[in-house]
Structure 1
């Protein structure tokens, strides 16, 4: 059985009303998307399907904590994941994506797999870089030893002494 099949919502047979589904995302989930980072932890997913005759609305909410590596000092720290998204599901002849948030599902379908939408929502909730948050005083909580090593090995910008002579010319105007 396909691992991602458990992230499926069967909508045939459901009454026209609101229905809630809950899922959990863990490290194994990310393995199926060939994601490079090694996240540890879990994210809770709450999917609310509002079923109507012609259109369904799927609201997805994620919340949880994952353990990530800081892009600055490489130490691991817990990162709070939170986000929400809506997906509009229309019925038609063939499966197609009309927009980022509008999907057409064939009328013969009985269920919709939402793993890809969950994955995209999680990625959109991530910052560009994972960096330790500052403490209450505004100071970095990164590993001080690693930050010192970075400082020691970073290139110091030296000003070419010839520029000083050129600056004298500008000052004499």
Structure 2
């Protein structure tokens, strides 16, 4: 098993996207990339912690590669937006790849370079590529939030 960590705006939709991929064995939404220990959602939203809303993705590399997960990451959001995704504004919604080893760092950089060179984007990529640090799981009500709302109301909430 292996782990990848991505930030691409509101973590509810990002989790939903990765959770559906064959070979992904688990997802956890949480906070990372900041300086505050054990932050709460309220603290992260206040903008004082430096953390991004992120998704930790556990996966079986024999069934899905890190490079395939990177492709999903780029397609799941607008990597040219700085400190926001759609209507969600603040550095907690920034685009970031948090690598867990040198192989992931190299793959993330190469993937970003390919996207930049493809000409598919009209603006510069704002995505940060940073070493993974402590990851603080979000409160339970955020875990699989879209699934919970769909089960409760019959409708999945929109997320950027």
Structures share fold, TM-score greater than 0.5 = no
Bigger helix fraction: 2
- TM-score (norm. length: structure 2): 0.24
- TM-score (norm. length: structure 1): 0.23
Bigger strand fraction: 1
Could you say which structure has the greater relative contact order, defined with CA pairs below 8 angstroms and 6 or more residues apart?
Answer: 2
Query: Which protein is bigger by CA-based radius of gyration?
Result: 1
